[in-house]
Structure 1
Amino acid sequence: MKQFTWDFYLKPTVLYVDDNILKIEDFCLLLEEHFNVETETSSSEVLKRIAGKKYDAIILDVLMPKIDGFALADLIESSACYNGCPIIFRSSAENPDISKRALTHGAREFLSPYIPNHEYHIR
């Protein structure tokens, strides 16, 4: 029998949106010790997901098909279901214009591929 733990209830819950399953799996491994991580691969499903749950943060991949992370952030922020949690952009692209646009777009943080893994656990 699995032992009950309060850890699940004490950890912040984040929604990570990325169209690449491998990036989702790798990134979740970095976060799962300190966060409850829920994932979504379809940007069109995100609004349905936030309608049913309140998140402590939303992490959006910038380069996604159909709706990019910036347009998705605008849709989330204009939704009546959005609780005002931080929206964080993430991209593996080595383009300084993307990070500049993310930070001027109102993101609290931009996660680049150059952040050392241990820094994801700093609260």
Structure 2
Amino acid sequence: MTGNLPKILVVDDEIDNLEMMEGYLSNEYEIATVSTGKEALEKVPQFQPDVILLDILMPVMDGFQTCKILKTSEETKFTPIILVTALSGKEDRIKGIEAGADEFLTKPFNALELRSQIRSLLKLKQQHDLLLEERDTAQK
């Protein structure tokens, strides 16, 4: 993670959801918001988020497709993704797991649950980043 605050990219086609997430998280994290899967794919390389909150139900490219693309990319395959969705069926969770999602959050969600999932995934990402750093140092 770079900078002082961990970075979170929020992807949702509903402006109210983007504002709500930003309100919940902006005190603890650097937040960037986009409203489509395509915008998310364009934003990720420059923003380099530590966690991505990704809505599933979006026009053109849904969250499943966006997640799958991010998880098959060498640069972003270890970036934690939380699928945020109104869908709660078992099939949707399976589809999300197959796309590479790390966690699920069902709308309407609890702010405490959101924060704890983010903290948990950030710990894992920090450990992963540290291992890569140590490996790279050892190879020099």
| TM-score over 0.5 for the pair | yes
**Runs ≥4 in structure 1, deviation > 6 angstroms?**
none
Distance in 2, Cα, partners of 1:108 & 1:37: 19
- 1:118 corresponds to: 112
In the TM superposition, residue 104 of structure 1 has moved relative to its aligned partner by 4.3
- 1:5 corresponds to: none
Unaligned runs of 5+ in 1: 1-8
Distance in 1, Cα, partners of 2:69 & 2:98: 17
User: Could you list the per-position Cα deviations for residues 40-96 of structure 1 after superposition, in whole angstroms to 9, with x for gaps in the alignment?
Assistant: 012212222112131101111011111110111122223354262111111123444
Q: Describe the SS at the equivalent of 2:58.
A: coil
In the TM superposition, residue 37 of structure 1 has moved relative to its aligned partner by 1.3
Larger fraction in helix: 2
- 1:90 corresponds to: 84
Would the alpha carbon gap of residues 56 and 80 (structure 1) be closer, same or farther in structure 2, given more than 3 Å must change?
same
1:105 to 99, 115, 135: 99
TM-score (norm 1): 0.78
TM-score (norm 2): 0.70
Question: Given that residues 16 and 38 in structure 1 are in contact (C-alpha distance below 8 angstroms), is that contact kept between their aligned partners in structure 2?
Answer: yes
Write out aligned runs for 1:1-123 (5 A).
9-82=3-76, 84-113=78-107, 115-122=109-116, 123=119
Unaligned runs of 5+ in 2: 120-140
Distance in 1, Cα, partners of 2:77 & 2:64: 18
Question: Given that residues 10 and 53 in structure 2 are in contact (C-alpha distance below 8 angstroms), is that contact kept between their aligned partners in structure 1?
Answer: yes
Please tell me the root mean square deviation across aligned C-alpha atoms, in Å: 2.1
Question: Given that residues 14 and 58 in structure 1 are in contact (C-alpha distance below 8 angstroms), is that contact kept between their aligned partners in structure 2?
Answer: yes
The number of residues matched between the two structures is 115
Equivalent residue letter for 2:4: L
